[in-house]
Chain A
Amino acid sequence: MTDPADRPDPSTPPDGPKPPSPDQPSSDDPSGRPVSFSPPRPYGPGAPPVSDVHAGQAPEAWGGWVGRVPPSRLSPLVLLIDPVRMLPSLLLPLVGVLFVGGFSPSSFVWAALAIVGSVGYAAVRWATFTYQIAGDRLELTRSLVSRSVRTIPLERIRGVDVTTPPLHRLFGLAVVRIDTGASGGDKQEGELDGVTLPEAGRLREILLRRGQAAAPADAATPAGTSYTAPAVAAEERVYVRVPWQWLLYGPLSGAFLLTPFALVGGAIGLAFQWGGEFGLSERAAFSVGEWLWHRPVLLVLAGLVLVLAMPVAGGVMYAVFNWDFTLRRRDSSLVAERGLVTRRSVSLEHRRIRGYEIAQGILERGAKVVRIWAIVTGLGDSRTRGQLLPVVPRAFAVKVAAEAIGPFEAPLRPHPPVARQRRLFRAVAPGLAVAAVAFLLGWGWIGLLALCAAALGVPLGLDRYRSLGHAYDGARLSVRSGSLPRSQAVVERRAVVGWTVRQTWFQRRSGVLTVIAGVGAGSGGYAAIDTGEAQGVHFAAEVTPEWITPFLDHP
């Protein structure tokens, strides 16, 4: 972790670029967004450093780069993809035109015109969109109706995402997404939809490498040198290639289990939508439903099939998404690549990674498998994009995380027994309360159900207590909580930007408190819940003694 870029760099905070200034409170808001000038915004909202500018409002630097490197276009092959992608949305109007025109020659002419028009539109879009790496910036220019330039400073680029959807794959193209970690949340900052694969690789290399090389002094280097590679030789190392057998763990996560229902729902919706077009009335649909209703055996069978299909379909979906999952190190980025149909590759800059989060559902815990994410500064939607591994055995995940990011072996310290009482009370009390009210009102069944829920709360509460823990090993701190989904975060010490200690009235009576380490990455804060009063405060003091010890009661 001694990248040159790790030194203090006043120009690249994740979302608070300006030095604090009390004089202009409103413009200091880190989530402030620039006013957009282009009415049909092509890229979604941007954050301050990434600006949409029109020709008339060009930045001062405008004259500085024009003409240095010729701007590039997307591959012309996208012209073959775009119309195909538009087909579904065009089909209905086209069919409509043909029907209305009674299949007369003129209606065919209109339909043909519509197709030509859409192809022409795609061509114009292609011709008017250019991109260019100029000095320390990436410029995306769209001059369709009005000219708009999006400028992305390279030093601000956090990750580059290369995806190859099936059609793109057919033509050897890829979609490059550029993540600048702006406070616009998970909005993409820049997208190049349809560059050739080698070009995508080249872009990734340049964008990420330049992002790392971009030091404050770098702004002064002439733009002409922008393609010189840094001294570090390109290094590529595969950490792990997940064996396909482990795809079988997928359904345990539960996330894909609802797939069959979603599919059936989608099919029914489509049938209703298209049925009308083909003369199937709703009445016919209802009579089918009625016919089924009177044959409950069929319904039950259908339900059974769906339930049985759940793990299968879920597993298939999971396998399609996570096929041949590879995690490798390229230069100073971690690259996770996955997918069967759409191949997706996410690059995470190593110097932005602050730790990792390990999560387990209850089923996954039974099978001793885990999911794992990287905690990255300024990465929106980190649960999807920061994914380091699919569901894999725990020991393996820990080993990979230790190798790729950093080891954490310190045993977690348990929290005081009173925390167990609090967990138990919380898990059991709601059920008991509902049961009491239900019995008072004479609703026996609901009361019984609530009692069962309360009984189940006992193991739940005990397990939630067992999950609690925190530790610090001198470089990283770790906190763990939860039960049905249990998650443990491991965060570097230097990522901590502050501490919040909370104590509710009930916690005070029990002599416990919650310590939250503020981290400028991932979910923002990682809490050690219900630690002992001294234990929690001393935990914070152990991690960052210079911040806490001056304020301890007995230093």
Chain B
Amino acid sequence: MIDKQTTVENVIAQIHDGATLLIGGWGPARKPMAFLRALAKSPVKDLTIMSFAALDLDLLVGLGKVKKAIYGFTSFEGAPGAMVNFRRARQEGALQAMELSEYMFIAGIKAAAERLPFYPTRSGLGTDILTMNPEIEVITAPYTGEKLVAVPALKPDIILIHVNVADYAGNARIFGDCYLDRLFVRAGGKTFLSAERVVPTGQLAEDGRAMDILGPWVNGVVECPQGAAPGSCYPDYDVDAAKLAEYTWAAQDPENFSAWAKDNL
């Protein structure tokens, strides 16, 4: 019987310097914070982070672990808190960035998930996103002659996702919005799930609905209750507003941020 249960430490050990991480969730919702807290304490550096970003990216930038950020937005999206470390790094010109629209980001992951070199979309036409990413080409569609943006495949090495419940084989259910996580797991690279609960294989299939995260694409599962805190994991818990406010306050002081984050987050 397949058993993919592992530990947070084993997952973090798979992440090497210079790796490209694709992080699931959206803004403050369902981010794999248990993994990221452990990553914060590891010596890994020079990461490329691909994310619909909030605390995840800001934390890793604040700890000096990020060489390049690829994102569709950077916002706490309604939760209290601000991207203080990210904003500082961008304003100092200290971080490489690939600024995309939300859908261009999705298109790049779709390309990777289908092993295509690019994915066509209208998103980005007429914007300075194309000016600032000169490597992204606008193509002329066969059949119609329309202009379309050809977003290159965005290929992760490691995919980290938090779910409500997973089984031993890595099948998983997400009870709020899946966001793009169903797609992310198929983008290539190794996928690791943290889960509020882990149950014996078979228990998640009872209602006959299509599975949210498919086990064959998952390399490891770790039970991490409260694993998305201080972000939210619907319906288990909402954002911890006080903690996010404290985080934002601590991030104002770059000298002491690392020590604060390792001890308090």
User: Are A and B a genuine interacting pair, yes or no?
Assistant: no
